[in-house]
Structure 1
Amino acid sequence: MTQIIQRYFDAFNAGDTDAMLDCLSEDVAHHVNEGKIRTGKALFAEFNDHMTRCYKELLTDMVIFVSPDGRRAAAEFVVNGSYLATDEGLPEARGQTYRLPAGSFFDIDEDGLICRVTTYYNLADWVAQVSK
């Protein structure tokens, strides 16, 4: 199951939402940091469109962990980004760069697709970095 998680992150780093969607089940539950749960590929794609407009990010220092039964996985990584356009409720974007640790957690369904994505990072750290 490491392969589906690696494919997901490779697609993320390539900015390829369609390839990310190929890794997901139709009813994927997307738990975003500091946000509401979005269910389904359409809402996941909508979220990615928004993120692509506001941020340019590259994930590095990736370590992927998979449970022995292959049904759950986690990844730890560093987000290296640029803040491109002001996101509602957040500081004004001026092309600021940021670097922060983050993690994602996954459930994998019986078809080998990701059916839950949960991502965490320290929002206060991010705000401090882009507010300088």
Structure 2
Amino acid sequence: MHQNAKALIENYYAAFNAGDMETFLGLLTDDVIHDINQGPREIGKEAFRAFMDRMNRNYKEQLVDMTIMTNEDGTRAAAEFVVLGEYRVTDEGLPPAKGQKYRLPAGAFFDIRDGKVARITNYYNLQDWIEQVEKA
């Protein structure tokens, strides 16, 4: 079971890196829970789609140096990776965007149900990101 969970998360991030949002969103349950880093909890695939539309408009990101871990029964997973990004359009409440590049360690935690992602919680150091884009 944990191999299926690992493959699910690998496919999730491969779709993200390819910019294939339909495949990416297809790996989520309809009632997916999304805990946004230093933000609110959103529920549902449509809320996640709206979040990703904003992210894809404001940022261009690739995730590298991926390590994926799963529990034995395949119901939970975690990933650690590095975000290589470009800040393209100013996001509300954040510094002005002017194409700044950044490199940011990050992680995510997942609940898995019926072969799909049922919860994702992302973590990164927002202050580190802000310092990187303000210096660039």
Measured in 2, the distance between the counterparts of 1:6 and 1:58 equals 14
Measured in 1, the distance between the counterparts of 2:39 and 2:106 equals 15
Secondary structure of 1:86's partner?
A: coil
1:95 aligns with 2:92: no
Task: Report the identity percentage.
Answer: 56
For each residue in 1:93-122, what CA deviation from the matched residue of structure 2 results, as whole angstroms up to 9, or x when unmatched? 00000001000000001x111100000000
Runs of 4+ in 1 over 4 A off after TM superposition: none
Structure 1, unmatched stretches of 5+, are: none
> TM-score by structure 2 length?
0.95
Measured in 2, the distance between the counterparts of 1:114 and 1:69 equals 14
Secondary structure of 2:129's partner?
A: helix
1:53 aligns with 2:57: yes
Measured in 1, the distance between the counterparts of 2:82 and 2:131 equals 16
Once the two structures are TM-superposed, the CA of residue 35 in structure 1 deviates from its matched residue by 1.1
Once the two structures are TM-superposed, the CA of residue 124 in structure 1 deviates from its matched residue by 0.2
Measured in 1, the distance between the counterparts of 2:9 and 2:85 equals 21
> TM-score by structure 1 length?
0.98
Provide the aligned C-alpha RMSD in A.
Answer: 0.5
Structure 1 range deviating more: 29-38 or 53-62: 29-38
Counterpart of 1:128 in structure 2 is 131
Secondary structure of 1:131's partner?
A: helix
